[in-house]
Structure 1
Amino acid sequence: MLTRSPAETLTAQLAHRFAERIRNRLLPPGSRLPSVRECARRHGVSPYTVVAAYDQLLAQGLIEARRNRGFFVRESRAEMAEPAAPAPARPAPRPGADGRTQPPVDAATLIRGMFRQVHGLDGVTKAVPGMGVLPPGWLEAPFMSTAVRRVSGATNLFSLSLQYGEPAGELVLRRALSHKLAALEIEAAPEQIVTTVGATHALDIICRTLLRPGDAVMVDEPGWAVEFARLTLMGMRILPVPRREHGPDLDVMARYCEAYEPAQRPKLFISVSVLHNPTGQCLSPSSAHRVLQLAQQYGFLIVEDDTYSHLAQQHAVRMCALDGLRRTIYVSGFAKILAPNWRVGYLAAAPDLVERFIDTKLLGTLTTPSLFEQALAHCLEQGQIRRHAERVRARLGAARARTVQLALQAGCRFVTEPAGLFGWVDTGVDTDRLAQVMMDDGYLLAPGSLFHAVRRPSSLMRINFATTQDAGFWRDFERARRQL
């Protein structure tokens, strides 16, 4: 809680706390601050102190008062201006159960939380339940530094550093990736593989190559918040496809394709087949075949994002394996299992698309870092990543079992069968509001509204099994939920 100090008044402490979160975008533009009474109760101060703190934030231009509505984080001129390029209209914030507009926790906020953790009122930094990756301690592997030393001998280090790498990526890595994909029954020659600066970069290359502003793209819903945000910024028409137990809603996909003239039909379907984010579900063989039939019938391509492949069993169904990369494009990377900062991802596609993807890569990043690509190739060739992934999967399984037990004891309900890295849970309260309350305890949640193309209040949230196996988090969660 705030503490009385001759060095800094309670008003200044409270104003500083909100200012820090606003500047770090943990409270994004448009967020509604707690009411004066709610803020006073939460921070253990008088309403007068809260009013004075809000006055300081108003004077700094960080917030604005809206008559009969409360205080909101101020939007910059750039954010308030109309976009120059045609883009889908952003939905207006919807009121929660109590009639108040809820503060958005957007994709950028969640990503910033990965780099700049939230501090609670007690000043303690805690784990991030909404995090999209494994904790750094889980990824430590001695063989990584050995691989870097091996490929960075004096002569090799200079040759790799003083010139650009291969446009498609280091051949030694593309060969290793070709063998890796063959183990997943995906036949892709090294010439069909392009390395990228992470899997997100691979998705960006594909979209920039194949789409133009205004094109329609089908996506999973619930789905990856960053994908929604990225496609929106590019001016695409997002067509959400409900995710069912065994895959996408095929009837909805068919209706999207039938509702438009051929030139306006969806160009792409971007989907996570294996350990879907956030539900953890996997695609069934029958659903995979039907999606491929729709793609053939209506002429769209399928982008299969296999980011969580290292956390899944090898026998999981992948459309790229069934299709042979004819109408499918495969995307994956290593940030989730090994080295996020190496930023090594890749895509595999039909030969007629590969050169176009390389051109887009060259225009965006020129080439990718040869040193890390060669080091990664060595780790793949020696089987070190495969063994490391087996250890991580075992550790994650134990964490998942513990977290599931704690979540159920806390009164949550799993909407889908717990699997992989994420749990999709029903909390029974508006998780946008819950996220703001728990930020005071030092936790950054991933509310369910974040995983819908059109934001709407939700009682669901995504949890990371690796970062929510602490009973202390669930005690704080229950206390926060009681406040709502």
Structure 2
Amino acid sequence: MLTRSPTQSLTEQLSARISERIRNRLLAPGARLPSVRQCAQQNGVSPSTVVAAYDQLLAQGLVQARKNRGFFVREGGRAAADADAGATDPAPAGQRLATDAVGRAARGVAPVNATALIRGMFHKINDQPQPGMGVFPSQWLESAFMPAAVRKVANARALQDFSLQYGEPLGDAGLRRQLAKRLDAFGVHTTPEHIITTVGATHALDIVSRTLLRPGDPVMVEEPGWAVEFARLAALGMRILPVPRRADGPDLAVMARYCEVHRPKLYVSVSVLHNPTGHCLAPGSAHRVLQLADAHGFHVVEDDSYSHIAPEHAIRLAALDGLQRTIYVSGFAKILAPNWRVGFLAAPPALLEPLLDTKLLTTLTTPALLEKALALCMEQGQLRRHAERIRTRLDAARARSVKLALAAGCRFAAEPAGLFGWVDTGVDTDALSQRMLDEGYLLAPGALFHAERKPGPLMRINFATTQDAAFWRVFERLRAEQDRLR
């Protein structure tokens, strides 16, 4: 709570608290501030104090007021008008959904600022587990075999050789051989010569975009989906076409409509353990997606970043089409070593040279030392055993987190699976996330996972970091308080 001080008024304290969160990106661009009445009750001050604090934020250019809607964190260059304007549409629900999605793309809707998500996820509030984090806790990833592998490959002579010359353009040959074996186990049959190592999976996605796309090209991306991908493509000047993601796969009616109207060049999909819902692609949907790709001439980028914790027989698009129109992307940051930044892509033969050119233009080559150490971990089975331990631990954590979430009055909007849970809280999670920050908890509100930010009741939780009953007690108290204010 704010306290009276001879050196700083309550208005200044409140304004400083909110401005600090905005500058640290703990309040994302586009986020709605609590109403004057709500903010006054939450902070134990008068409404006039809140009005004065909001006026200070307006003067600083940190927020903007929207008529009859409230105060929002300012977004550079984003039009604030008609975000939620609408009219009654007598068309059937499926047709209306497809038409609305195409219409949103035609309006050039700006995606959420993903740097807010990244900065927020990794802004260290305190030492307690954070429900909004997008990674496993660091103590889960600790191992003795990774440092041992580095020591083994980094003897004096080898270290000098690695340091005094660039690595192989495609990446370390030993690692690519191990990656080809791993892909073969998924039914993705390729050779080491068709694999390119990258600086993480995000770099692989960027290589594909820069190779196949030009500014203004339309790209289909799943919604809800990874906000970083929305913003990364927008920063390259691409046109975002959000495709609703359902339990069995993408909304095929929307995809078909996009193909007719916009002729997209690319479709980016997390087909296995989709972030944030945890959904896995069903065979029927997978075949239909590939049929659309073949008929309309677009490529599919399959981001399989959660492959190490995925169900054994999960469907991969790359396996079904034999890497003809599909480009497979994955990495090891989620399961092994986030700071090693080792990723890769497997591509159709015709795209290999253009993709390699882009890699060389953007990073030259990738660090051979870490790639050789990773290859050793894979060859000796240490990575496989490590992933098995993580899966076992995650299964237990998920069961406990689900039980606590249900007891706290939440429901799951998607069947719990993988690392993330897609939770319906029943209240506006944009507003709730601001109150939770006061208690030292960082949430990931559902609006962050949509191309057009709209407040709603959903949030993404990390099952590995929501096993603490103390968090859920705070959550229940603040949600009940928000309900009363509403």
Scaled to the shorter chain, the TM-score interval is 0.7 to 0.9
Q: Report if the CA contact (8 A) 1:105-1:447 is conserved.
A: no
Paired residues of 2:32 and 2:431 also in contact (CA < 8 A)? no
Structure 1 residue 55: deviation in Å? 6.2
Residue 326 of structure 1: SS of its match in structure 2? Answer: coil
Does the Cα contact within 8 Å between 1:274 and 1:318 map onto a contact in 2? yes
Q: Does 2:117 align with 1:110?
A: yes
Q: Which segment drifts farther, 50-59 or 230-239?
A: 50-59
Shift in Å, 1:297? 1.9
Counterpart residue type for residue 119 of structure 2:
R
- What residue is the counterpart of 2:99 in the other structure? none
Partner of 1:41: 41
CA distance 1:108–1:328, change in 2 (3 Å) = same
Asked if 1:166 is matched to 2:168, the reply is yes
Residue 84 of structure 1 corresponds to none
The answer to whether the 8 A contact 2:252-2:289 is kept is yes
Deviation of the 1:46 alpha carbon = 4.5
In structure 2, C-alpha distance between the alignment counterparts of 1:352 and 1:70, rounded to whole Å: 52
User: What TM-score results when the alignment is normalised by the length of structure 2?
Assistant: 0.87
Give the secondary-structure state (helix, strand or coil) at the position aligned to 1:238.
strand
1:33-432 maps to which residues of 2 (within 5 A)?
A: 33-47=33-47, 50=50, 53=53, 57=57, 62-63=62-63, 72-73=72-73, 79-80=76-77, 93-94=83-84, 106-118=113-125, 126-257=128-259, 259-260=260-261, 264-432=262-430
Distance in 2 (CA, whole Å) between partners of 1:217 and 1:68 is 34
2:100 maps to none
- After alignment, is 231-240 or 325-334 more displaced? 231-240
Give the secondary structure class of the aligned counterpart of 1:186.
Answer: coil
Deviation at 1:393?
Answer: 0.4
Deviation string 1:48-69 (CA, Å, 9 cap, x unpaired) is 6545655665665545667887
How far apart are the structure 2 equivalents of 1:180 and 1:191? 15
Letter in 1 for 2:305: T
1:454 aligned partner = 452
Rounded Cα–Cα distance in structure 1 between residues aligned with 2:165 and 2:13: 51
Match of 1:434 among 423, 432, 435: 432
Quote the Cα distance in structure 2 between the aligned partners of 1:65 and 1:250.
38
* Paired letter, 1:322: L
Letter in 2 for 1:207: S
Q: Percent identity?
A: 70
Q: CA deviation at 1:232?
A: 1.8
Distance 1:141 1:7 in 2: 50
Of residues 330-339 and 180-189 in structure 1, the stretch that sits farther from structure 2 once superposed is: 180-189
- Aligned-pair CA distance for 1:244: 2.1
The TM-score normalised by the length of structure 1 is 0.87
Please list the CA deviations of residues 289-314 of structure 1 after superposition, one character each: whole Å capped at 9, or x if unmatched.
Answer: 22222222222111111010001123
SS in 2 for 1:248: coil
Find the aligned partners of 1:49 and 1:23 in 2 and give their Cα distance.
21
Rounded to whole Å, the distance in 2 between the matches of 1:68 and 1:290 is 44
Distance 2:334 2:12 in 1: 40
Give yes or no for contact 2:112–2:450 (8 Å, CA) kept in 1. Answer: no
> Per the alignment, do residues 153 and 12 of structure 1 end up closer, same or farther by CA in structure 2, a change over 3 Å counting?
farther
Alpha-carbon distance between aligned partners in 2 of 1:195 and 1:382, rounded to the nearest angstrom? 20
Distance 1:91 1:73, change over 3 A: closer
What is the SS of the residue equivalent to 1:304? strand
Unaligned runs of at least 5 residues, structure 2 = 86-110
**How many residues are matched?**
457
- Whether contact under 8 Å (1:91, 1:455) holds in the other structure is no
Q: Which residue in the other structure is 2:476 paired with?
A: 478
* Mapped contact 2:429–2:446 kept (Cα < 8 A): yes
Q: Identify which range, 39-48 or 218-227, moves more after superposition.
A: 39-48
Partner of 1:100: none
